[in-house]
Amino acid sequence: MKIHTKRFAAGAALAMVASLGLAACGSDDNGGGGSDSDATTVTFLPKNLGNPYFETSDAGGEKAVKEFGGTYDEVGPDTAGPDAQVTYIDTAAAQGVNALIVSANDPTALCDSLNAAREAGTKVVTFDSDTDPECRDLFINQATAEGIAKVQVEMIAEQIGDEGEVAILSAAANATNQNAWIDMMKAELEASHPNIELVDTVYGDDDDQTSFDKTAALLADHPNLKGIISPTTVGISAAARYLSTSSAKGKVALTGLGTPNQMRDYIEDGTVTEFALWNPEDLGFLSAYAGKALADGDITGKEGDTFTAGDLGEFTVGENGTVLLGDPYRFNKDNIGDFDF
Ligand code: RAM
């Protein structure tokens, strides 16, 4: 599969640069604009703090903000609850932040706050997990939902010989992104894999321990289970940790969406053969540049608008105010050593 961005190909080197940059700057640092009151202020609001996926995406955002001389901040709840992000949105609006970059835990629960922030002049960019389109100015999509669903179904089908019982271990029950992918995975299974039966869908809330416990319960409840798909980086790594020391290791396949650093041990010890993701750093980087283009009035978010995101190049706004990063990418024992995020 073709890798979309130049920077993804150089993943290892870039992740090191990003982490060095972070160590030097801290999360609240001015991104190079000094005390310049004209500097674009950009606040990242992930689903929850402490998730390595968002640490990487938000570091990409910080890198972009430094590049264009803005001011970066990151805020967020500890748990990925449906309305846990509301107070952070209200605070950002009260502060007059120029661009708020949000991964939504719920498609509608944030809408009143987001729209109030927009009324007050803050541009709202969703990334990773969207709200309803009328609650934001742009959505930065990591890959098409169809593509993300398809790659996960293909991987599990390959890993279980295209037959048997599978289950899904998801994130929070209301997560817009996971729910869209699950709907499409179900459709893809029905259309193209008649011998695979989806027997259960459970929710680990993007919490490590909850996801670990839900994996144990899945195995206990479904003794004939042949595979688990976990479309969340938190879920797949917790499930892999559980499987790696259980008698199901090597018997129950596990795939989904993970970060190379969280999955490396489980690829190396044979618990997992292949999983997928995109480059979260590029996603955050692109989102920050989109926020700046909106805040500067260079674009309004309508279809056909174009803007440049540093060395990622030029992007065009598509249907429903959506900008697409690229394609999902498969990681396995042959290539995982090339990545460090
Ligand atoms: C988790 C979050 C995030 C999702 C990734 C794949 O980190 O749920 O929203 O995009 O997994």
Rounded-to-integer distance, Cα 82 and Cα 66, Å: 31
For a substitution probing ligand 1, which of 127, 128, 185 has the most ligand atoms within 8 Å of its CB?
A: 128
Ligand 1 atom index nearest CA of 233: 11
For a substitution probing ligand 1, which of 233, 325, 331 has the most ligand atoms within 8 Å of its CB?
A: 233
Instruction: State in Å: Cα 106 to ligand 1 middle.
Output: 13
Ligand 1 atom index nearest CA of 232: 11
Shared fold status for 16-143+279-326 and 145-277: yes
Residue 320 tokens read as 């429903």
Residue 83 tokens read as 């309305």
Instruction: State in Å: Cα 190 to ligand 1 middle.
Output: 24
Answer yes or no: is the C-beta of 234 below 6 A from any ligand 1 atom: yes
pLDDT attached to residue 38: 82
**29-43 pLDDT tens trace:** 444 333 456 899 999
Average pLDDT over residues 6-22: 41
Distances from the Cα of 78 to the Cα of 45, 48, 291, 316, angstroms: 11, 5, 24, 34
Average pLDDT over residues 199-217: 98
pLDDT at 21 over 50: no
Distances from the Cα of 47 to the Cα of 55, 79, 104, angstroms: 11, 8, 6
Q: CATH topology for 16-143+279-326?
A: Rossmann fold (3.40.50)
**298-310 pLDDT tens trace:** 999 999 999 999 9
Rounded-to-integer distance, Cα 155 and Cα 305, Å: 35
Rounded-to-integer distance, Cα 29 and Cα 70, Å: 10
Let me know if domain 145-277 sits in CATH 3.40.50.720.
no
Q: Which helix (H) or strand (E) holds 202?
A: strand 196-203
Distances from the Cα of 187 to the Cα of 62, 146, 179, 296, angstroms: 37, 10, 12, 41
Answer yes or no: is the C-beta of 177 below 6 A from any ligand 1 atom: yes
**55-82 pLDDT tens trace:** 999 999 999 999 999 999 999 999 998 8
Contact between 238 and 208 under an 8 Å Cβ cutoff? The reply is yes
pLDDT at 28 over 70: no
Ligand 1 atom index nearest CA of 206: 8
Answer yes or no: is the C-beta of 43 below 6 A from any ligand 1 atom: no
pLDDT attached to residue 32: 38
Contact between 13 and 338 under an 8 Å Cβ cutoff? The reply is no
pLDDT attached to residue 30: 42
Contact between 161 and 196 under an 8 Å Cβ cutoff? The reply is no
Neighbour-count burial of 329, counting CB atoms closer than 10 A to its CB (0-12 exposed, 13-18 middle, 19+ buried): buried
The DSSP-derived string for 170-184 is ES-TT-HHHHHHHHH
In the chain, which ranges are continuous DSSP H helix? 6-9, 11-25, 52-67, 86-95, 111-119, 145-159, 176-192, 208-221, 233-244, 260-268, 280-295
Distance from the first to the final alpha carbon of the chain: 19
**139-173 pLDDT tens trace:** 999 999 999 999 999 999 999 999 999 999 999 99
Rounded-to-integer distance, Cα 287 and Cα 64, Å: 9
Which one is predicted more confidently, 18 or 337? 337
Where along the chain do its domains lie?
16-143+279-326, 145-277
